Structure 1
Amino acid sequence: MTPRPAPTARRVRLATELRKLRERAGLTSTEAAKLLGTSSGQLSNVESARFGVSPERVRAMAHAYTCTDQEFVEALIDMANDRTRGWWETFREVLPPTFLNIAELEFHATALRSANTAHIPGLLQTTDHAREIFRQVVPELTRSDIEHRVNHRLQRQAVLEQSVPTTFRAVVHEAALRVPVGGPAVAKHQLQHLVEQSEREHVTIRVIPFAIGAYPGSGQNVHYASGPVARLDTVSLDQSHGPVLVDAEAQLEMYRVLLDRMEHVSLEPSKSRDFIHHLLHDL
């Protein structure tokens, strides 16, 4: 097993799921280590993501922990087998780790959903819109830091442009659409971009108008990434200090319900497109 001084969020998630499997089996780390023919110290290193773990070891652990969910086990094996060094690694020395984690999460997601009440979803932002957003960060960023963040955000959008694009369902509140970020010209271009994106088969944009009033999830920004199985889904929540990743099963279920309800009160996609067109003509 190879030491990993800076494990990625994906490696940490694999380690966490292996620990959960052991705990569900009712085994202590000492008991599990004996079954696996290793030491409790080595097992602890695996479960804390300080060491990597081979696909064969993952399979042995699942067997020892009597996990019968074969689809889930195969998904964990795929994670252990993954050696991808994505484009986000080029930003490792210039951006906080949370930025890299989000990009890695989206890259591996089988589907993406988001709900935004104050901002346009990052995957749908134009260059000038994103740049103005980062200009407002507190404490103030240097010009170089702003450009690093803008470039990172634009490269994240590649998941919507690849040959087999990731499906993306976004719910956006009218408030986020009406804020003229960067001035009228930038705002107009941003709205036009949303219209164009909404016409793509794999992108769905739904608007919650002011007229709806109160609704579930009001005030929240939620980014939901589906994994190969539901147990490996992840939610990213925006915070002033950066995104926070959530993956507890009860929380995942809560956010799935929340997003469903937000979609339920929103305008259907064609009416949402017409709504954005109307705002565009008002600029």
Structure 2
Amino acid sequence: MALRKTVRSRRLGKQLRRLREEARLSQDDLVGRVNDDQPKQRRLSTTHLSRLETGLARITPEQLDRVAEALQVDAEHRKTLEELRRRADERGWWQEYADIVSQDVEMLVEIGEDATTARSYDNAFIQGLLQTRSYAEAVIGSARAFVSPINIDRMADMRLRRQERLSDPDFEGLTAVMSEGALRTVVGGPDVMREQLQYLTEVVQRLPVTIHVLPFSAGALPGSDNFVLFGFPHELDGDVVYVDSETAQRIYEDRQAVRQCTYMFDAGLAQALPARESQDLIRAVLKELP
């Protein structure tokens, strides 16, 4: 039976691959070192290592110990690797929604649970991590061709549960860049929008959230896709980006995609208003609502 990739199995695989590459070992070289003097039934195959590095295979504690020893991994990092191995198949609350969302959306939630930082860029709607329930229901309901009406409530539940991560002690912060258009588009009617904008003025006071608005006066936006860049606690993890475009939602881990989205985020942040002026603009838009 094929194993499902999880964020932790992918992180474990990515860290092991980078450690192997830093040691300038091929997969065959590493397998040779790990299997030295080991009986046949306890050996690690190159095929298994390859699947392990992509998050599609699991590894026993003993095998991980031997791999870490062959790669000369220090004790502290070994603890991190073992924690990822142990939790790779841990069932998360997000799996309750697997029947109504794609695997990429499910993976998005799991990524958010492990990430310690997030940087978002949105030009169509307010970032999902900052949406009120009424606003979220209106946004989800607008996608009538893709979302069954009976699932709107559950999808809104899932979105709000994602937001709980923002208040966890080990979460360092969300920096959100959003267009003025996202603030001025009256989603769900004036009452829903009033509640949403009011929430944006309050959330920055109590959670590690910073909001920067790209005003219309900034001119052309640096990109049209909406995305979130997630950062993890260990330098070997690397960033992961979730891109939400008009046609698809995808998760990218390759350096080129992450680099491109990082550039777009940095360019947007450079054009955006400072945090205090952004709050002034949000309040001004709020006052203009009928």
Aligning the two structures, in what range does the TM-score lie when normalised by the shorter sequence?
0.7 to 0.9
Check whether the contact 2:166–2:207 (CA below 8 A) recurs between aligned residues.
Answer: no
Q: Which residue of 1 aligns with 2:188?
A: 182
- 1:265-276 correspondence runs (5 A): 265-276=271-282
Give how far 1:140 is off: 3.9
Whether contact under 8 Å (2:177, 2:212) holds in the other structure is yes
Partner of 2:39: none
- Which residue of the other structure, out of 226, 229, 233, is the alignment partner of 1:228? 233
- Give yes or no for contact 2:212–2:272 (8 Å, CA) kept in 1: yes
Please give the alpha-carbon distance, in whole angstroms, between the structure 2 residues aligned to 1:63 and 1:258: 40
Tell me if structure 1 keeps the 8 A contact 2:223–2:264: no
Query: Quick check: 152-161 or 254-263, which moved more?
Result: 254-263
Match of 1:155 in 2: 161
Aligned residue type for 1:109:
A
**Do residues 14 (structure 1) and 12 (structure 2) align?**
yes
Map of 1:125 onto structure 2: 131
Matching residue of 1:218: 223
Return closer, same or farther for 1:138/1:32 CA change in 2, 3 Å cut-off: farther
Q: Which region of structure 1 is more displaced relative to structure 2, 110-119 or 79-88?
A: 79-88
In structure 2, what is the equivalent of residue 256 of structure 1?
262
Paired AA for residue 48 in structure 2: Q
Q: Is the Cα contact below 8 Å between 1:36 and 1:61 reproduced in 2?
A: yes
Structure 1 residue 238, shift from structure 2 partner:
0.9
1:279–1:71 Cα change, 3 Å: farther
Aligned to 2:38: none
Structure 2 portions without partners, runs of 5+: 36-43
Cα distance in 1, alignment partners of residues 66 and 260 from structure 2? 32
Corresponding position: 1:238 with 2:244:
yes
- Find the aligned partners of 1:114 and 1:242 in 2 and give their Cα distance: 17
% of aligned pairs identical? 29
User: What's the CA shift string for 1:43-67, capped at 9, x where partnerless?
Assistant: 2342343321245544533443467
Question: Residue 138 of structure 1: CA displacement?
Answer: 5.5
**Residue identity opposite 2:132 in structure 1:** T
Root-mean-square deviation (Å): 2.7
**Secondary structure in 1 aligned to 2:125?**
coil
1:81 equivalent to 2:79? Answer: no
**In structure 2, do the counterparts of structure 1 residues 243 and 17 end up closer, same or farther at CA, with 3 Å as the change threshold?**
farther
After superposition, the C-alpha distances for 1:69-118 in whole angstroms (9 at most, x for unaligned) are: x8766644432232543211222233222222111111111111111111
The alpha carbon displacement at 1:273 in A equals 0.7
Shift of the 236–76 alpha-carbon distance from structure 1 to 2, 3 Å rule, reads farther
Shift of 1:121: 0.3
TM-score, length-scaled by structure 2: 0.84
TM-score, length of structure 1 as denominator length:
0.86
1:90 aligned partner, one-letter code: E
Deviates more, 1:181-190 or 1:251-260: 251-260
Separation in 2, partners of 1:157, 1:42: 36
CA shift in 2, pair 1:164/1:10, >3 Å: closer
